[in-house]
Amino acid sequence: MAEPKFSVSEITTLHQTFEQDLACYHEAGAEGVGIWEFKLPEGDDREALAKLRDSGLEATTCIPGVLSVWPVPFPGPTDPKERTEALCAAVRRFAPFEPEVILCLTGHPGDAEPAEGRRVLVEGMRRAAKVAAEYGLTLGLEPLHPQTIELLDEISEPNVQLLYDVYHLWDTDDVLEDTVRHGSRINRSVHICDWRADTRNDFDRALPGDGIMDLPAIFGALEAAGAVDWVDLEIFSDDGTFTDQDFEDSLWKQDPLDVVRRGKAGFERAWAARAVPA
């Protein structure tokens, strides 16, 4: 198959504006942008939409400000009904941008009884999926593991797929076999990065090729599954923004254009070396 198109998730260049991201990614040779809702200017989105179209980039994996039915460690309400409505509002907001997929997480039900937590989650995801379907959009639930497959079956909405993120999956048991087995359930916009050998916290990712993941094997499995049209570079690299750890070598402190160019080059090398699993 042809090499997947390259996109950049806006968290990768945390401190730039939406407009700066568009210019940076275009100059670096990207074809897409993974829009984070917090990067969109407040108010009417018509100007942002016009700038996206003028940039020549396509919207790929888009991230709502409230991206889960149950809470996650990001700002937002705690009540799952309020969170579901905020997620639905984000879906409506993203619709004019025509994204490949809108990312969702399950969140953490806290002290809720497990069966009740599951029921609330499934109902919330169904609600969001139906809103997305009104606009012809797809939701991507992250990550891929057997429980996620079961959850998708329970949600039972055709526009809810698996959002494949190599950061969360690379070292799971049977990841290559499961990637091929569940290829039809995987959304074709895939999050990529690499895992630092000396990872210091959950916000310490590396650029493709600069870590210890076997990216060629993963890309080979995704190709064999027919499950990748886009790769979306998603880098968290803490400079004290999310935790009290301020890494001197944080990628968020480095020149954004150089970071994106290096990420693209690392992806291209790993893709060229891909190996189809036995």
Q: What percent of the chain is helix, strand and coil (3-state, nearest 5)? A: 45, 15, 40
- Give the number of other CB atoms < 10 A from CB of residue 219: 27
Q: Minimal CA–CA distance to 95: which of 15, 14, 13, 40?
A: 40
User: Who's near 177: CB < 8 A, 6+ residues apart?
Assistant: 221, 277
pLDDT (mean) for 176-195? 96
**Which are the contacts of 36, defined by CB distance < 8 A and separation ≥ 6?**
9, 10, 11, 62, 63
Across residues 185-194, what is the average pLDDT? Answer: 97
| Cβ neighbour number for residue 127 with a 10 Å cutoff | 17
User: In this structure, are residues 52 and 97 in contact, taking their beta carbons and an 8 Å threshold?
Assistant: yes
Q: Region 99-114: what's the mean pLDDT?
A: 95
Question: How many other C-beta atoms are found inside a 10 Å radius of the C-beta of residue 113?
Answer: 9
Q: What is the pLDDT of residues 201-226, one digit of tens each?
A: 999 999 999 999 999 999 999 999 99
User: Chain centroid to CA 15: how far?
Assistant: 18
pLDDT-based confidence at 73, cuts 50/70/90? Answer: confident
With a cut of 90, say whether residue 148 has pLDDT above it. Answer: no
How does pLDDT run across 48-69, given as a tens digit for each residue? Answer: 999 999 999 999 999 999 999 9
| pTM, 2 dp | 0.96
Say how far apart CA 71 and CA 25 lie, in whole Å.
31
Please report the domains of the chain, with CATH numbers, ordered by start residue.
Answer: 5-272 (3.20.20.150)
